[in-house]
Amino acid sequence: MDNKKKVEQITSMEVDFAQWYTDVVKKAELIEYTSVKGCMAIRPYGYAIWENIQHILDGMFKATGHENVCMPMFIPESLLNKEKEHVAGFAPEVAWITHGGSQKLEERLCVRPTSETLFCEHYANIIQSWRDLPKLYNQWVNVVRWEKTTRPFLRSREFLWQEGHTIHATAQEAIAETERMLNIYADFCENTLAMPVIKGRKTESDKFAGAEATYAIEALMHDGKALQAGTSHYFGDGFAKAFDITYSNKENQLVHPFQTSWGVTTRLIGAIIMTHGDDSGLVLPPKVAPIQVIIVPIAQHKAGVLEKAAELKEKLSSYCRVKVDDSDNSPGWKFAEYEMKGVPLRLEVGPRDIENNQCVLVTRHNGEKSVVSLDELESAIPAKLQEVHDGIFARALENRKKRTYDCTSVQQIIDELATKGDGFVRAMWCGDEACEDKVKEMTGVGSRCIPFEQENLSDTCVCCGKPAKTMVCWGKAY
């Protein structure tokens, strides 16, 4: 009966991955659709995941000296237009405000798609001397981008994110900051979200509008498509020149500072779903799971069972996020419900367990059961949660290894994808944008990044046969 319930609720990921994803975000009560096309209502369970992501990342930012600020939601058109390359990159996605109440505005306001221009205006007002540098800022806000095709968490017209913006006296400091933040993102994805990532630099054609260099972390989803999980941008002094930001250096000369920006969004929730989920629903990394342990009383109508469940919750709550389901639903229903919600660990306790001073622990990712003494839970539960983290990381890494193909010709890329399915393609590139475009046109995979960890797979470009400059990671992307 329980298996039937699961099948009815969720389309198999092997049958239709896109429908499986939609089923999971709806059935696990992460989001609900709204009357505003392309926008989602993030429900409490979905928002709790984001709050945990936010809390952990915010601590990592503050530990590296960053301070939180909050900039306006609106950007005057004249301000947005100050950096031409930047505005051109965002123009197709900008939402404009033309009226305030019934009055037409003298100047259109855009609803922020990103906040570089606002930070630049602010920096120009507050920075005069080398003593004012660096400024290491971050904000947790929402942004709007008028996307044509939307999907919950992965791509929506309004989404939540953090955007870091820093400004430095030297190019070296700014470049170091760009790389430091990318490393923080990679560390967070792997050690908190159990999601392996590839760190690298974007090609010139794929970098952020107005940046000198864009670095990214790329993750591979269960279906073999890539997802950009975070980006970090080095701006050089281009924005500083456009916005006339100057400061007096130690030699009392007026010079331009150097800037960065970096961000991750609620699409990380989509990444968690598509990296770790299965046909029973979500599989949440323990560190961001709203409920880490669900206690299911067995034969709860019998004397002492609910009392023991409540007592266990009280004890466990000092070292994990725990809930008791004492509803009158059957244990089987509860098992399926919390599997759907991806709760990492289930604790079952019934009359016989109480008699033997034990309980049954079940790990979500593999369904393994173990009988544990109630006296040992304080050490057993953290160990089991770590076991879930390690297990889902290993599974995701194995999926990436299995779906990574080293290719030395365009035809080989086509053949590998046709026989083995989507995945990361590693291939050499001459650096010519025409070859980058041709590979995508002929194979369907675009450049994801130039990995920091380089290997020489061949001396020649995968496309044109000329001498190769770098190894590129290619893939189809969300």
With a pLDDT cut of 70, the percent of the chain lying above it is 98
CB 229 within 8 A of CB 188: no
Please state the φ and ψ torsions of residue 334, each to the nearest 5 degrees: -65, -40
DSSP 440: H
Which CATH number among 3.20.20.150, 3.40.1710.10, 3.40.50.800, 3.90.25.10 corresponds to the domain 293-385? 3.40.50.800
Tokens representing 164 are 């870091």
pLDDT band for position 5 (50/70/90)? very low
Residue 3 has pLDDT above 70, yes or no: no
- Determine the average pLDDT of the residues in 80-86: 83
- Determine the average pLDDT of the residues in 73-97: 88
| E strands in 221-286 | 226-236, 247-248, 254-255, 258-265
Fold that domain 404-475 belongs to in CATH: Translation Initiation Factor IF3 (3.30.110)
Q: How far apart are CA 155 and CA 147, in angstroms?
A: 7
pLDDT at 6: 43
- Determine the average pLDDT of the residues in 78-92: 84
| E strands in 112-238 | 135-144, 158-168, 198-201, 213-220, 226-236
Tokens representing 104 are 């037409």
Q: Which of 42-51, 89-98, 167-176, 255-264 has the lowest mean pLDDT?
A: 89-98
CB 283 within 8 A of CB 269: no
The domain limits of the chain are 2-276, 293-385, 404-475
Q: How far apart are CA 323 and CA 370, in angstroms?
A: 20
Q: How far apart are CA 404 and CA 224, in angstroms?
A: 9
pLDDT band for position 82 (50/70/90)? confident
pLDDT in tens, 179-220: 999 999 999 999 999 999 999 999 999 999 899 999 999 999
pLDDT in tens, 330-359: 999 999 999 999 999 999 999 999 999 999
DSSP 280-343: TB----TTT-S-SEEEEESSTTSTTHHHHHHHHHHHHTTTS-EEE--SSS-HHHHHHHHHHTT-
**Look-up: residue for tokens 């309004």?**
158
pLDDT at 7: 40
pLDDT at 8: 56
Q: Which superfamily, per CATH, for 2-276?
A: Bira Bifunctional Protein; Domain 2 (3.30.930.10)
**Look-up: residue for tokens 């699409």?**
267
Q: Taking the CB of residue 459, how many other CB atoms lie within 10 A of it?
A: 11
pLDDT band for position 87 (50/70/90)? confident
DSSP 477: B
Chain-centroid distance of CA 33 in Å reads 21
Pairing of strands 67-68, 135-144: parallel
